[in-house]
Amino acid sequence: MRRADRLFQIIQVLRRSRRPVSSSQLAEELEVSQRSVYRDIADLIGQRVPIRGEAGIGYVLDRDFDMPPLMLTPDELEAAVLGAQWVADRGDAVLACAARDLISKIASVVPERLRPFIAEPSVGVPTSQALAADGLDIARTRSWIRSGQKIRIRYRDEQSRETERTIWPTIIGYAETVRLLAAWCELRQGFRHFRTDRILAAEFLEEPSGYRPRELRARWRRFMESGRGIRLA
């Protein structure tokens, strides 16, 4: 790894970490000696990169620090393109269009030497089966998730029984051929996962959920980590 690339990578490691990163952790990830890490950190500080460090604790990067846009490595570019290709193939119409626009924007601003990693990536998304038709507007659902508002739905379960429920939409997931909407269900007083192709009707309510979106997602993650897994409604 070139030294310039290593300095950039140190910034990236510190940027993505929420806790102080020790010199030994940096040395292990970058596959260099701790002495090299000390020199690199000193050089970055000398270039006015706002890194703070304490002996025995580690280094942290000022959260207000920003870098020139799209200073990406080839691996990061291919990761971005792979993710965008998957979304373009599997996302709702609005999200798919945004993914294609994202690839175009990246291609237009990266240096010429990096453009082959976008035009001819070494990874690709396999051809997938068509997703079942959704019973509600997924783009609008994403908006309701972000704003923390309720949705009233009419739902048909796998036994073809129909129920009406008010849910607090939490996150949209993707199975092989269907989308799943994770939500807190007021009827069942718990988290449930709804196949969007089984939603027969949806009314988007101007009514806030019981928790802010971040807290609702945190509660859903704890539910999933508890081992109870995906519970289809």
For residue 110, being part of any structural domain is answered with yes
Q: Is 9 left (phi over 0), alpha (psi -120 to 50) or beta?
A: alpha
Alpha-carbon distances, residue 83 vs 6, 18, 135, 143, 197 (angstroms): 25, 24, 25, 21, 24
Do 146 and 202 belong to one domain?
A: yes
**DSSP state for residue 232 in the 8-state scheme:** B
Cβ neighbors of 215 (< 8 A, separation 6 or more) are none
Residue 202's CB is within 10 A of a number of other CB atoms, namely: 22
Tell me the C-alpha distance between 49 and 65, whole Å.
8
> Which domain, by its residues, includes 222?
138-228
- 16 and 40 within one domain: yes
For residue 59, the cross-strand partners are 21, 53
Residue keyed to tokens 């260099």: 32
86 plus 43 within the same structural domain: no
Q: Is 103 within a domain? A: yes
- Whether residues 143 and 198 share a domain: the answer is yes
Q: 9 in a domain, yes or no?
A: yes
Look at 16 and 189; give whichever has higher pLDDT: 189
Is residue 67, in this structure, part of any structural domain at all?
no
Q: Does a structural domain hold residue 127?
A: no
The top-scoring range by mean pLDDT among 79-83, 173-177, 203-207 is 203-207
- 96 falls within a domain: yes
pLDDT tens digits for range 123-161: 777 766 677 789 999 999 999 999 999 999 999 998 999
Let me know how many helices (H) and strands (E) the chain has, helices first: 8, 7
Residues 21, 55 within the same domain: yes
DSSP 113: G
* Residues 82, 57 share a domain: no
Nearest Cα neighbor of 202 from 134, 133, 130 is: 134
Total length of the chain: 233
* Residue 164 shares a structural domain with residue 113: no
- The label of the residue with tokens 């792979």 reads 82
What does the alpha-carbon distance between residue 44 and residue 60 come to, in Å, rounded to a whole number? 12
DSSP single-letter state for residue 209: -
pLDDT per position as a tens digit, 32-89: 998 999 999 998 888 888 998 866 789 998 877 765 555 677 888 888 888 998 888 8
pLDDT computed for residue 20 by the predictor: 92
Among 89-93, 211-215, 217-221, 222-226, where is mean pLDDT lowest?
89-93
Residues 49 and 85 placed together within one structural domain of the fold: no
Number of compact structural domains in the chain: 3
Residue 106 domain flag: yes
Q: Are residues 171 and 114 part of one domain?
A: no
Which pLDDT belongs to residue 1?
64
Read off the pLDDT of residues 95-125 as tens digits, 9 standing for 90 and up. 999 999 888 888 877 778 778 888 888 877 7
How crowded is residue 73: how many other Cβ atoms within 10 Å of its Cβ?
Answer: 15
> CB under 8 Å to 191, separation ≥6 — which residues?
170, 182, 183, 184, 185, 219, 220, 223, 231
Model confidence, pTM? 0.67
- Domain check: are 52 and 96 in the same one? no
pLDDT at 49: 87
Q: Is residue 128 part of a domain?
A: no
Distance CA 13, CA 17 (A): 6
**Cβ atoms of residues 99 and 53 within 8 Å:** no
